[in-house]
Amino acid sequence: MKTTFSGWRYLWKSEDIRRKLIVTFALLALFRIVAIIPAPGVNQAVLNAFLNSGSASGNFLGFLNLLSGGTVTRFSLLSMGVYPYITAQIIIQLLVPIIPALQRRMEEDPREGRRWMEKWTYYLAVPMAALSAIGQINIFNSLSVNSTLNQQILPFGFSGDLLLPSVTVLFAMTAGTMFAIWLGELISEYGIRGQGLSLIIFAGIVSQLPRNFVALFSDPTTAIQLLVITAIVIVGTVLAIVYVTQGRRNVPVMYPGRRMGGRMSMPVKGTLPLMVNLSGMIPLIFASAILQFPAIVAGFFMGSTNESVRSFATAVQEFFNSSRGIGHWGYWVIYMLMVVAFTFFYTSVLFDQQNYGENLKRVGATIPGVHTGAPTQKYLSRVQNRIALPGAILLGVVAIMPYLISLILQLAKIGTTNNTAGLFLVSSSGLLIVVGVVRDTFMNIDAELKLHGYQDSILVR
């Protein structure tokens, strides 16, 4: 007789798994404690006033605040989070197909190539963190000075009396980023394996839930309606994300038989699974950053004495202000199109790095009806691009979901701007990250349980 039970009931009984969970929670708690420490010299009153100003540049900094887990609102030592490392990782990945020497290194020895990429990603993360700190401080100061506040958030410069404080802030913020990366590596090594950096980002996003719950209930008359709508929207979006991200296209592959003594075994039929959503949430970050950049540049010209320049800068900021009313649909259409375009671009880059054509040829495997080598790679690339379409459309719809829901609610005259803004509890980008991290963490823990003998079912005589 077969009796089924959940192996998760033994989650706390395994000493090794229990230790990994404790280490993971302790390191995440340490990350959140350090995240509330502000950088030295920050004028918190000016920072709060600027973030609440409702300008397009303030919305961009609100976007950074979400991705950094609320650390931007304090201008924390960890206000850049682990994103300099992610940026360095993307740069290295994009350089591989461009530089022939790097591409040959990856093709000749993929394992050694991955180690090389990891090493140089860490090296590149340090200057990227320093440059990000300088850029973030200058952007904050320029936008706050050009706004109605006319004050700097953090005095910064490399001359005169500002030299030593500026160098101190720069070292402190760079060290904060590397500290967050180090915590992520510790989680991957001693906690939940392979999920360190993802859990660091996850913890930061989830930490914003209480504030968004308060925004959701700011109007008691519509709080219950919005709560029901929130549950429906989140559940539906999560199901769609999981369904598409779990989607695979299994390409049939014939593996050669093996010689066993004096006989040759028959060829083995197998499949090569291709992911529908290979790019994850990277296209959302790319598109959001690029669309907010014109508003930042326009902010530098808001104080111009030339009336035409000032009017043009104002028009640019107005167009790229994502918090405007339901009639401001042009921004969201461009946003969706850019997300779809970046999805195809980044998927193509990642897929070409896998080099399935040469790898299959090396082991003697073939796809029925397709020549080995370059024709196989070309065929698989065509299949990957075709199945990437639903993934790209999903990312595009998820990206503009806040606008679509706000449009429906405002047309139905349900809620106000403040409480509909917290409808998702996290942004669409944050929701995609949260779902992906939860799914991967669940699968990793389930694999650990099975590795320790806690199977989903046992036989009882």
pLDDT band at 237 (very low <50, low <70, confident <90, very high): confident
State pLDDT tens for residues 313-324.
777 767 776 555
pLDDT band at 179 (very low <50, low <70, confident <90, very high): very high
Do 218-425 and 1-208+431-461 have the same topology in CATH? yes
The domain defined by 218-425 folds into Preprotein translocase SecY subunit (1.10.3370)
Q: What is the pLDDT of residue 26?
A: 92
Mean pLDDT of 241-269: 77
Assign domain 1-208+431-461 to its CATH architecture.
Orthogonal Bundle (1.10)
Whole-model pTM over 0.85: no
Q: What is the pLDDT of residue 430?
A: 72
Q: What is the pLDDT of residue 274?
A: 87
Location of structure tokens 């009639």: 327
State pLDDT tens for residues 392-438.
888 888 878 777 777 777 776 665 554 444 455 556 667 777 887 88
Q: What is the pLDDT of residue 66?
A: 58
Q: What is the pLDDT of residue 55?
A: 52
State pLDDT tens for residues 5-44.
455 566 777 778 888 888 989 998 998 888 888 888 887 7
| Mean pLDDT across the chain | 76
Backbone angles phi, psi at 425, to 5 degrees: 65, -40
Q: What is the domain partition of the chain in residue ranges?
A: 1-208+431-461, 218-425
